[in-house]
Amino acid sequence: MAAQYLVGRDIVAVCAPQRAKGIRTPAQLLAQPLLYHSNYRDNWSLWAGAVGAELPAGWRGTGFDLVMNLIEAARSGMGVAVVQQCMVEADPAAGRLVMPVPGSASTGRGYYLCRRRALGAHPAAELFGEWVRAQAALSEPASPAARRA
């Protein structure tokens, strides 16, 4: 397999604008109800470590098995969610979510464009790959995909 990273490694902490009022520090943010994707509960530890903070002892939070449900919970004011930045990039401009504390963390995961090397290049697949890389570059301009687009 040949795999090329596209987008999605970085996670950020986001919440509804009304919940963000008064949050200035990572500690204040981590005192809020914490929302997470149930497959990636450790994302909160990654984010906290990246911003120089510690999770509260024995934190529990609320998990969601679908990222869209997690994002909707944050939009509705249920708490603060840690999500892939590419999944919420339109929300700040629309006023649905804010990032009350700057900072991101890399999960080491993301979305990749993959193909079987044994099949070689195919014109239609190459054209599709160019389009996918261009779309990814819109979300993550510093990515290798953006530099090639």
Reported as a single tens digit per residue, the pLDDT across 15-69 is 999 999 999 999 999 999 999 999 999 999 999 999 999 999 999 999 999 999 9
Note whether 2 and 117 are within 8 A (CB): yes
pLDDT averaged over the chain? 91
The maximal CA–CA distance of the chain, rounded, in angstroms, is: 56
- Tokens 């790959």 belong to 129
How far apart (Å, rounded) are the C-alpha atoms in residues 88 and 73? 13
How far apart (Å, rounded) are the C-alpha atoms in residues 58 and 53? 15
What per-residue confidence (pLDDT) applies to 142?
A: 60
What per-residue confidence (pLDDT) applies to 149?
A: 46
Number of helices and strands (H, E) in the chain?
7, 7
Q: Which of 37-51, 97-111, 133-147 has the lowest mean pLDDT?
A: 133-147
Domain boundaries, the chain: 8-106, 111-148
What per-residue confidence (pLDDT) applies to 141?
A: 64
Partner residues linked to 84 by β-bridges: 11
pTM of the model: 0.82
Q: Of 101, 67, 60, which is closest to residue 83 (Cα–Cα)?
A: 67
Fold of the CATH domain 8-106: D-Maltodextrin-Binding Protein; domain 2 (3.40.190)
